[in-house]
Structure 1
Amino acid sequence: MPMIKSAVVAAAFTSLGLAACATDSASGGAASGSATSPASASRYLSQPIIPGMYTADPSAHVFNNRIYLYPSHDIDAGVPDDDQGSHFAMRDYRVFSMDRVGAPITDHGVALDLKDVPWAARQLWAPDAAEKNGKYFLYFPAKDRQDIFRIGVAVSDRPEGPFKAEPTPIPGSFSIDPAIFRDGNEHYMVFGGIWGGQLQRWATGQWNPNGSNSDLGQPDRPALTPKFAKMSADMLTFAETPRDLVIVDEAGQPLKGGDTSRRFFEGAWMHKHNGLYYLSYSTGETHRIVYATSQTPYGPFTYRGVVLEPVQGWTTHHSIVQHEGKWWLFYHDTQMSGKTHLRNVKVTELRYNSDGTIQTINPMR
């Protein structure tokens, strides 16, 4: 039985209590003085739903009619900033849940710690989760002893954990941002991220520390794409070699590396609405969440538009989930800290137009 820490930490959309949060930042809590004043809070479309702790990259799923959140857990580890994201030095995962959006959030405590992952050396970045046959699976990226990102899996009998990590990463896995998509009885993983996420170093299919043969620095080449693979029956390995999820423009041509307002950067998520497959992702340096659609989960996906305009902070990472007849967008920004590596989770309703396009959301008022 996992230890349940703080049965209810806060009501969603409430930020006025942040001023009282003064836990030690080394353990991931919000430091004293990080609170957002009521006046400045009004600038934002939504408010942090987990005040008192820095969390980001929220993967949301509905299990047993309850919303579970699997975010990364930001801490101030004292690591200098660099272009590879070394200052994102997260060390554990916590699971949160709520009956519905707007209800109090339950903090279920630490679900997995870096020290309990035999193969991992550092940087527990954005995770995701899935359920199959009463078992729950936590998928997560971490750097191995050679400082190469791999994707691991941990298993539990409960959606909140604790989770026990497999002794080795998923064979053939690499890069970051695993997201699990369920389509009927099948599960798939979409993953990958460039720059610090190292996807460009796998452009040839083999590890290349120099990242040659990618589109980076070559704006006229087809952009790198997220990777996609069906999961095995036991959910612990890939059932096939990961393949590219090609994203094309309205003319059917692959997006180019220089098309930074539309190209894939990181944080892919897949969902299905009215029989259509939606691939959404972060554009990275242009700070948007955008989306493309396809008739099949393997694509190609045609670019359609913007889901979320830029948030406060360098960029964001999202998930999309349906609950109680509505669709919800979970994302993060830096309202609580003003620092890109100390983020906070938010949520807002996602709406579709009659033609299946998504209504663009502006996170600032």
Structure 2
Amino acid sequence: MMNQLTTAAALCAVLASSLTFAQNPLNFGSNIKTADPSGHVWADGKMYLYTSHDEECQQDFHMKDWHTFSSSDLVTWTDHGPSLSVDDLTWADDFAWAPDAAYKNGKYYLVFPAGTGFKDRVNPEKSTKWMGIGIAVSDSPTGPFKDAIGKPLWKKPYANDPSLFIDDDGKAYLYFHGMQHDYYVAEMADDLLSVKGDFIKMDMGGYEPKMEGPWVFKREGIYYFTMPENNRVLTYYTAKSPTGPWKYQGVFMDEEANANNHHSIVEYKGHWILFYHRWLQTPGLACDKKQRHVAAEYIHFNEDGTIQKIERTTEGVRDFPQRIKQSEQLKR
């Protein structure tokens, strides 16, 4: 009888473990609250996610560090801990918001927003908040990253939510959300430590809604400029060059409960993946408020390159290991 109980307990433990590690939002193996995922695949073949880090029950977005996670199957993740903190900066002490990353010249780069001051949501005229974009460098994809220039790339305009895209010819472009500078792009110098020339105002085809969190990628010769339109619904444009002109293509993910979204889109082992965050009730907190959690879904394209509508699911990419196994068997 004892052996039967032990066996049953073991089976339950295995089942619980599999359920824990195969879920959406993604399970990073701890109670960490994450948002703003930036996905990248480096030479070692792993998927890396660079995220912001929400402190539990924070009253506003006073965030202090950026985290890095890696996985070979999108189900089991390794938490590499903080890769950079505002404590490592001399020019900012708050607002460790949405980061991005790149690999160039044998180095890994973390591009990040940070700032100072206070945002008065009741009396906006009293706000002193300012944000800029910094560049940090490391020999490792997981950091630690070191502030490379000791200052923001620029002080005006106020800017955050950077997205760093490196084209096939090696040229790098920095997209961002900026005060009176949405839909601008900056070409980066070859060392990625400064901006080359002036900001470029892109032609968006006459449609420029409120936005934040741009993400640019390239697929089969088509450039995609994606964003949370009105900070909520995910929409996109397409173009034949990384600076446009762009054609608006519409919505590919609806908003959720009037909450912001932030995303990245990346190909991994033959499958295109959307990483994004959700606002969910989280058991065990000292406060009754929704927290942000990073999630993932498969993303599919039509023959003409347009993106099919994506629904949020509880399964997410939990079957990714099985899909890869099946693909490998078919190749044999």
Which one is further off, 146-155 or 295-304?
A: 146-155
Partner of 1:163: 145
Q: Closer, same or farther in 2 for the Cα pair 1:264/1:245, shift >3 Å?
A: farther
Partner of 1:344: 293
Could you say which structure has the higher helix fraction? 2
Partner of 2:25: 47
Q: Name the SS of the counterpart of 1:300 in structure 2.
A: coil
Partner of 2:36: 57
Spell out the pairing of 1:204-223 with structure 2 (5 A cutoff).
Answer: none
Q: Name the SS of the counterpart of 1:363 in structure 2.
A: coil
Cα distance in structure 1, aligned partners of 2:239 and 2:100: 22
Alpha-carbon shift at residue 169 of structure 1 (Å): 1.0
Partner of 2:309: 360
Which residue, out of 269, 276, 285, partners 1:331? Answer: 276
Q: String of CA shifts for 1:272-314, please: whole Å, max 9, x gaps.
A: 11101100000135x2100000111111211112121223561
Partner of 1:153: 135
The two structures have a TM-score, normalised by structure 2, of: 0.78
Q: Closer, same or farther in 2 for the Cα pair 1:48/1:284, shift >3 Å?
A: farther
1:48 alignment partner AA: L
Gaps of 5+ in 2: 1-16, 118-127, 283-287, 315-332
Partner of 2:111: 139
Partner of 1:93: 66
Alpha-carbon shift at residue 17 of structure 1 (Å): 4.2
2:139 alignment partner AA: D
2:72 alignment partner AA: D
1:153 alignment partner AA: I
Partner of 2:162: 178
Kindly indicate whether the alpha-carbon contact (under 8 Å) linking 1:15 and 1:47 is maintained by their aligned counterparts in 2: no
Cα distance in structure 2, aligned partners of 1:15 and 1:245: 46
Spell out the pairing of 1:287-306 with structure 2 (5 A cutoff).
Answer: 287-306=232-251
Alpha-carbon shift at residue 148 of structure 1 (Å): 1.4
Cα distance in structure 1, aligned partners of 2:71 and 2:258: 26
Q: Name the SS of the counterpart of 1:266 in structure 2.
A: coil
Q: Name the SS of the counterpart of 1:232 in structure 2.
A: coil
Kindly indicate whether the alpha-carbon contact (under 8 Å) linking 1:264 and 1:281 is maintained by their aligned counterparts in 2: no
Kindly indicate whether the alpha-carbon contact (under 8 Å) linking 1:276 and 1:295 is maintained by their aligned counterparts in 2: yes
Partner of 1:212: none
Q: Name the SS of the counterpart of 2:129 in structure 1.
A: coil
1:272 alignment partner AA: K
Q: Name the SS of the counterpart of 2:190 in structure 1.
A: coil
Q: String of CA shifts for 1:117-176, please: whole Å, max 9, x gaps.
A: 111021111000111122011111111466311101111000000001131111356311
Alpha-carbon shift at residue 77 of structure 1 (Å): 6.1
Partner of 1:73: 53
Could you say which structure has the higher strand fraction? 2
Segments ≥4 residues shifted beyond 4 Å: 14-18
Alpha-carbon shift at residue 239 of structure 1 (Å): 1.1
Kindly indicate whether the alpha-carbon contact (under 8 Å) linking 2:262 and 2:277 is maintained by their aligned counterparts in 1: yes
Q: Closer, same or farther in 2 for the Cα pair 1:172/1:15, shift >3 Å?
A: farther
Alpha-carbon shift at residue 265 of structure 1 (Å): 1.0
Q: Name the SS of the counterpart of 2:103 in structure 1.
A: strand
Alpha-carbon shift at residue 182 of structure 1 (Å): 1.2
Cα distance in structure 1, aligned partners of 2:42 and 2:82: 19
Identity %: 36
1:120 alignment partner AA: A
Kindly indicate whether the alpha-carbon contact (under 8 Å) linking 1:245 and 1:298 is maintained by their aligned counterparts in 2: yes
Alpha-carbon shift at residue 101 of structure 1 (Å): 2.4
Alpha-carbon shift at residue 242 of structure 1 (Å): 1.7
Q: Closer, same or farther in 2 for the Cα pair 1:312/1:144, shift >3 Å?
A: same
Kindly indicate whether the alpha-carbon contact (under 8 Å) linking 2:113 and 2:159 is maintained by their aligned counterparts in 1: yes
Q: Name the SS of the counterpart of 1:176 in structure 2.
A: strand
Establish whether residue 309 from structure 1 lines up as the match of residue 254 from structure 2.
Answer: yes
Rg larger for:
2
Partner of 2:227: 281
Cα distance in structure 2, aligned partners of 1:236 and 1:176: 17
